[in-house]
């Protein structure tokens, strides 16, 4: 066994080979590739362990009483049961009584077929996915500014030639360690309320760490724009030739001179000027944003403020400079392009656009009127479950919202209220443990497919080994259910290459055009960055000649600072913010089952300044209750003398009474519908007891 493939975790999609270890079990080894250059992080090195985990689900599980235990059953019984329940629900309550929830970790083929399944086999508009919690604000801001959303519109290796890179709300030293090899700019500016590993790296290498109060990133971006203009650092020729709307945007930034910016953000005025000078005088500069800027009820405007700064400095669409968003999930880019988002059809087409509907309907062989309209966004969909106005049944693939959704206890209650919850998974996640039916599906190294990484680069994920006996792929599950729901078998192929070919036809002419993508081209080593409209090469660098608006110009957005939806007060005097650890991923459903990773970080913790801990009567290592208006999380105190005294930090990979998302605020961005994960008002209390919830549920629950 020695097969080249890509890591199952983040959007860096590091190349690796899967080999046979000394005991014959599969093991991961790094492979050379432009994104990881022969490196892997701890998660990548241990990724193959889950392929032979004793916690794999290998038989369909069914229960008729949710308080009872699961019983193993055969596939025909399980699929017949699910199809009959879904058909009955639709017949009695209408098509929108059934919902579908997907994932930014699904391959392009799965994302495409899942959207098609929802809209044709079920006829429902109620489909969204966990990528709404990842990059939706940056996508909305990118579409607003550039007319199209490709998170990073240039190859990652371009960053290595930069003089200055600003990272706003991103911590790749922990979340994407191999990416740090590209961030060798003489000056790295990191914007983060905490002294993250990336911020420390910047300081150690002569860069800057700007630590704004949580929820004030937009004010900082406006302040940097003000400082750059005052110092005569803007690219006025570029603004005149390639953009529109600067004057309206400037009217908002004009109020944020550096001293005013300091009052709002806490970032010293001289640091604002210094950062603006480093960016504005660099021959090659980049502005990159991540979840820290996006996961707010003002996330779209905040990212727009960073894009405004980049546009004013003349960076986007220039060779050797630019703006980009660091996508989080493995297929966060491709996952939102092909139809599992509530308002989109394949190819990044809008579902309410008559021409888009006609094109996709023609590809699918149906009348455009058969396609439903836009549905609810992810949190709104989850929050509507079982309420009478929302769906009473849900099919869920590749996501664990019982842990990953904001106000998680509220979401768990909604999931519990469903008449039918069906989960496709390969381990018993917390959401699977709440389900009526669990369908065991293949893992990343057991099936073929394509992914689109953070650069918009198309990748070929190869099958390394066969799935365990009794396990099917997600495509096989969707195909079998569609046929049972009355669809022609040919309409729902279960072979990835056949689905990719259809995806190419459906996306042809759209913003994210995959018409020219074939397995053969990827197998032959072509570097394909979308759009790939035909046999010609793809598009590694976008916007060099024009932007995707009809006039070819980028748009400044007139945005200002509004602040967080919730702010500290006497009862909840601290800000809480959340993020990832190097050794865990997303809800932890996979990484908490890998012994090495679990041993390194087995329990939740909360970072606090020692003075903040002392005021709450909490010493290093004590168990604390972190309490918000929505719930509480148990976490062990970890003192950080470099932390802000008004802010605490919790990783969000843990479940049950250790879940950071028990605290988080579901206030939504009005454009992207992104929840405000990054700011919650909390207080600290001594905990009466240590956590009792298991870190990973089992099939017996």
* CATH architecture label of 136-326: 3-Layer(aba) Sandwich (3.40)
**pTM attached to this predicted model:** 0.96
Class of CATH domain 61-134+331-494: alpha beta
Q: How confident is the model at residue 701, as a pLDDT?
A: 46
Cβ–Cβ < 8 Å for 318, 567 = no
Residues of the chain with pLDDT under 70: 1, 692-701
What does the angle CA 674 – CA 679 – CA 685 come to, to the nearest 5 degrees?
A: 135
CA distances from 112 to 10, 116, 290, 442, 565 (A): 20, 6, 25, 18, 35
**CATH homologous superfamily, domain 2-52:** ADC-like domains (2.20.25.90)
Q: Does domain 574-686 have CATH number 3.40.640.10?
A: no
Contact call for residues 484 and 123 (beta carbons, < 8 A): no
User: How many other CB atoms sit within 10 Å of the CB of residue 621?
Assistant: 10
- Angle (CA) 674-422-47 rounded to 5° is 70
What's the rounded Cα separation, in Å, for the pair 109 and 271? 47
Please give the pLDDT value at position 699.
Answer: 57
Give domain limits for the chain: 2-52, 61-134+331-494, 136-326, 574-686
User: What pLDDT, on a 0 to 100 scale, did the predictor assign at position 693?
Assistant: 52
């Amino acid at each position: 066994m020695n097969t080249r493939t890509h890591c199952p975790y983040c959007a860096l999609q590091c190349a690796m080979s899967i080999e046979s270890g000394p005991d014959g079990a599969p093991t991961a080894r790094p492979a050379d590739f432009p994104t990881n250059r022969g490196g892997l992080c701890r998660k990548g090195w241990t990724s193959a362990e889950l392929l032979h985990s004793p916690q794999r689900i290998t038989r369909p599980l069914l229960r008729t009483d949710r308080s009872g235990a699961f019983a193993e059953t055969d596939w025909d019984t399980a699929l017949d049961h699910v199809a009959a329940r879904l058909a009955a629900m639709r017949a009695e309550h209408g098509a929108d009584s059934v919902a579908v929830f997907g994932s930014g970790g699904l391959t392009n083929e799965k994302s495409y077929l899942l959207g098609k399944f929802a809209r044709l086999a079920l006829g429902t508009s109620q489909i969204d996915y966990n990528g709404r919690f990842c990059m939706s604000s940056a996508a909305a801001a990118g579409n607003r500014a550039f007319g199209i959303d490709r998170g990073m519109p240039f190859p990652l290796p371009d960053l290595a030639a930069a003089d200055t890179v600003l990272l706003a709300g991103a911590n790749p030293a922990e979340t994407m360690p191999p990416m740090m090899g590209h961030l060798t700019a003489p000056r790295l500016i990191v914007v983060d309320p905490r002294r993250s590993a990336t911020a420390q790296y910047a300081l150690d290498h002569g860069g800057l760490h700007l630590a704004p109060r949580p929820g004030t990133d937009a004010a900082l971006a406006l302040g940097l724009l003000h400082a750059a203009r005052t110092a005569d650092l803007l690219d006025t020729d570029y603004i005149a030739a390639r953009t529109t709307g600067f004057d309206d945007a400037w009217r908002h930034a004009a109020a944020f001179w550096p001293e005013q910016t300091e009052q709002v953000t806490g970032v010293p005025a001289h640091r604002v000027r210094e950062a603006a000078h480093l960016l504005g005088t660099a021959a090659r500069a980049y502005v990159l944003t991540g979840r820290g800027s996006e996961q707010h009820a003002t996330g779209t405007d905040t990212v727009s403020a960073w894009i405004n700064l980049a546009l004013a400095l003349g960076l986007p669409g220039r060779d050797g400079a630019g703006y980009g968003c660091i996508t989080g999930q493995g297929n966060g880019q491709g996952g939102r392009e092909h139809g599992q988002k509530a308002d989109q059809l394949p190819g990044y087409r809008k579902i309410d656009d008559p021409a888009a509907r006609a094109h996709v309907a023609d590809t699918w062989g149906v009348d455009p009127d058969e396609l439903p309209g836009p549905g609810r966004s992810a949190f709104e969909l989850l929050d509507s479950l079982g309420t009478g106005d929302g769906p009473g049944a849900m099919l869920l693939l590749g996501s664990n919202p019982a842990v990953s959704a904001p106000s998680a206890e509220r979401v768990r209650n909604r999931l519990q209220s469903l008449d039918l919850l069906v989960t496709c998974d390969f381990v018993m996640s917390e959401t699977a443990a709440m389900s009526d039916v669990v369908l065991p599906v293949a893992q990343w190294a057991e099936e073929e497919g394509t992914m689109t990484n953070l650069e918009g680069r198309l990748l070929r994920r190869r099958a390394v080994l066969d799935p365990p006996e009794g396990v099917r792929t997600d495509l096989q599950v969707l195909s079998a259910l569609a046929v049972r729901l009355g669809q022609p078998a040919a309409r729902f192929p279960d072979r990835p290459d056949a689905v990719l070919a259809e995806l190419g036809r459906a996306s042809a002419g759209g913003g994210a055009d995959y018409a020219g993508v074939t397995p053969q081209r990827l197998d032959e080593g072509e570097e394909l960055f979308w759009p790939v409209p035909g046999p010609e090469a793809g598009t590694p660098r976008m916007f060099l000649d024009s932007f995707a608006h009809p006039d070819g110009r980028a748009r400044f957005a007139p945005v200002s600072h509004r602040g967080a939806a919730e702010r500290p007060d006497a009862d909840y005097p601290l800000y809480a913010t959340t993020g990832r650890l190097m050794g865990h991923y997303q809800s932890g459903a996979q990484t908490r089952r890998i012994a090495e990773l679990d041993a390194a970080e087995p329990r939740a913790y909360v970072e606090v300044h020692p003075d903040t801990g002392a005021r709450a009567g909490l010493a290093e290592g004590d168990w604390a209750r972190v309490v918000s208006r929505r719930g509480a999380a148990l976490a062990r105190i970890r003192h950080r003398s470099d932390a802000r005294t008004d802010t605490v930090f919790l990783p969000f990979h843990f479940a049950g009474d250790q879940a950071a998302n028990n605290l988080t605020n579901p206030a939504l961005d009005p454009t992207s519908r992104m929840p405000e994960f990054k700011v919650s008002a909390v207080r600290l209390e001594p905990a009466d007891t240590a956590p009792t919830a298991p870190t990973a549920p089992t099939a017996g629950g």
